[in-house]
Structure 1
């Protein structure tokens, strides 16, 4: 079934494999996309994927994080996107733009900004975001967030994308309002499940009203929050109060009633997370990142210091608690959504073998699968499947080093075990980031 076309709201994908959202420093410093960004995306398109979901384009113009990541927060970003998306789509690959707002999960910036601490409620998260205490959004600020998403959705359509995906996962601001451990408000935007859903619901209504019923529009949703993972210090210490499948299935039913076309299912609160990127915790890459942003706040400095004070052997063991690779880790959840919500479902999480993908599609557990790490390792993976291979000759090890490097380095495979030399690995990384003459 991998190579059977699939249509969503008038958009036909040539096959059932999508490159999922993955970020990288491939834009200009102000966020304007470049030929490097286009060539990075185009390599997956030429490799045969049915569609690409962009990195999360930020809808908030005040968040500059990380630098060289493309936003869609102002009209000036539309023209360059339109030019390059047209080139990507000319290969026959469909292109969806994912939009979001990290809120307090903003990981970096030129300078510390109060805007980067915004969330549903006051609190502290040691791992995600560089800021110290979160600051709750006021009602006017929440209404502005809704407008930001609507404005961004219009820009996505103007840029010539085939559709858009709204991220209500990754620990970003909508997810912060959904998660009962993070959202402890007692007003109309928090408290019970219905009020915690309100921000997502209002954003979805705003987007659908602005782009029309004929534009492909889906939501990336976490099936379980798994707040106890990864190892983290969070205040208040409400680790086990995240949403479970019962709550998120209800969210899925509400989204269907609001006119969403598909659901993209993962799990876990925050990025990186063992349910989003199953495999080992990239300890050394996390140290690199924490060192790079340690100047932005007392929390960022403390976090970096902890990673240096703890001996490496102990740190690797400690921070790897709860991390392991499992193929198709969220497939069971995707199946539940397909059965009980009735929307088309994309499953995410550790796919790489052709037989596993065929089984997931053939059994009706999902309609499409998405992946990033396996395609970074082998951008021609779909072509290799078409040639009859069960998996690539040099498969992705799901080591998560690429995920740990996304905010600090050019995006590519950083697992030296896959290359004959450091030089060969560097050549592959730099090849991804080659610009047009």
Structure 2
């Protein structure tokens, strides 16, 4: 949600920002908003005027009856009836225009910061830096081929897409044996780094949320088709960003409590609407996957931008410890998520694709989510509460990290060397054969 007064007072700011997202979006949108706002305020004023007229006239009716002036009382009662009709009509118009205004405001993307480069898609993203040197692997296999070839002692594939498809359909996987253990090891490894070294508080959160929680973080109403909805008016979470950020909804925090930093390891559920034909093989794009999420709650934009650098560095550290080559990308206006003002993507090197692929996205959202959740803080005891600023990021996507480990640590015989940083979490196992 956006401050309607700010749009009313500085429309050019919003026109320019939304035009940077998509050509013409700002001009068309702000024009609609201002027209509805004008109609809404006019209806609200008409309703107030009619209510005042009704109240004032009602007092006069009593006076007329006290004087036994029935004609005057009847005339005044007719005026009250007219005022009541006017109140109902103005109230209906006020409700209609407010609802239309809220629908537009709730569906709009956040305002990108000026430092975010303009662009219509990923080709407009800007590389910030690279870390690590990709290993030279002769004829590298992709993770799906590697995982399916690895067998359990009973002869089953450790990465089994067929078994998963028989029960759930496409875009699911069943992991067995050492690969299942490695997935768990990666999650524990990530959580330990973020909680013991980076100050994030481990949190266990609901996997089912109601629509207002998703509206709060911006997944609804814009991305409804990408969500799984239950028959009990709940949604499966697409990311633990949703419950973690909503921990502060409808709260007024004290300045001393900030910054808040939360992390959670949860499954995530996405319908992957619009991704037909993309990454249909393997674990890159699944309906269900695990992720270690990072969420921060801070006081203002200055702290938010500092926190974005910190959060992205916390995610990068996981890749560095695993010795996985990656690069940091500053996303352009056309590739950035709808709720973000600035986003860094971390892309890990995948030998089979001979390119970098996204493994983490860290975003500063300003007060975009806080306004929708009514999450505020008080700078001091005498201050008026102000909206907090929120950030979220992956620290990391566990499945994609497993993919990266398999591909970057593959050997010519099909075995996988376990990264040294993971061996303690794997019971001392040094390779998977």
Please give the range of the TM-score, normalised by the shorter of the 2 chains. under 0.3
State the TM-score, normalizing by the size of structure 1: 0.25
Going by fraction, where is strand more abundant, 1 or 2? 2
Q: Which structure has the larger Rg over C-alpha atoms?
A: 2
Going by fraction, where is helix more abundant, 1 or 2? 2
